[in-house]
Amino acid sequence: MNDRDWHIRMARTYLAEAARARHYGHWSWHTTLLLCAAGRRRQAAAIPTTPAQRELFGDVR
């Protein structure tokens, strides 16, 4: 899945959640959704690196 597809899917999810939250009258949904999206993004970006690469690029993971 490329970046464009991911953004389209997230926008759809966001809009669906917004409609549902408006229906139920609470607005904490966007925080949960954004935290979830950030976590998924971070997980996808967590490519394993060797100690040599970490030293070279200064990663403190």
Over residues 23-47, the mean pLDDT reads: 69
Return the axis-axis angle of helices 3-24 and 29-45, rounded to nearest 10°. Answer: 160
Residue 16's H or E segment, with its range, is helix 3-24
**Whole-number Å distance between alpha carbons of 11 and 60:** 32
| Residue 7 reports pLDDT greater than 60 | yes
What is the Cα–Cα distance from 30 to 21, expressed in whole angstroms?
9
Give the residue extent of every domain in the chain: 3-57
Question: Is pLDDT above 60 for 60?
Answer: no
Residue 49 φ/ψ, nearest 5 degrees: -125, 155
- 45, two tokens: 């970006």
pLDDT value for 20? 76
Contact yes or no for 17/33 (Cβ under 8 A): yes
